[in-house]
Copies of this chain bind each other. A is one copy, B any other.
């Protein structure tokens, strides 16, 4: 029932960019270094997020990435879905990626998976990166370090 590393890295990267929101572009290297993510792998991930319209990139010297929308308007669920697909444990219990299963009518488990999906989406679709930034700032008064 786990998140792929892609999903994990993506959420970490977007959170990082959220905390840097409004301070211009951020380079892949900086994120990779501070979050302990393999640089080349992170490249692919950020590219996917960009193609999904969540990030904007700038090439060349002083280039980098930044959020396409303010952190308050990006939910964790959105990022996870871009990288990992459905939130639901199995396909036939997904709302946004639903696929019919031949056993569905008599399936004694589908109700349970729907319940799980609901619980997960209830959390991830209602939590924005703005919320996360806020609770970080409350807990640790130290400002963020840049390299």
**Residues of chain A whose beta carbon lies under 8 Å from any beta carbon of chain B:** 1-3, 7-8, 11-12, 15, 19, 35-36, 76, 80, 84-91, 102-103, 106, 108-109, 111-113, 115-116, 119-120, 122-124, 127, 132-133, 135-136, 140
The A contact surface, by secondary structure, is helix
How far apart are the CA atoms of A88 and B120 in the complex, in Å? Answer: 11
Q: Are A124 and B116 in contact (CB under 8 A)?
A: yes
CB closest chain-B residue, reference A86: B2
Q: List B contacts of A91 (CB < 8 A).
A: 2
How far apart are the CA atoms of A26 and B1 in the complex, in Å? Answer: 28
How far apart are the CA atoms of A19 and B108 in the complex, in Å? Answer: 10
| Extra pairs beyond A36-B103, A108-B135 (17, CB < 8 Å) | A1-B3, A1-B80, A2-B86, A2-B89, A2-B91, A3-B89, A3-B90, A8-B89, A15-B108, A15-B109, A19-B108, A108-B133, A108-B136, A116-B119, A119-B120, A119-B122, A119-B123
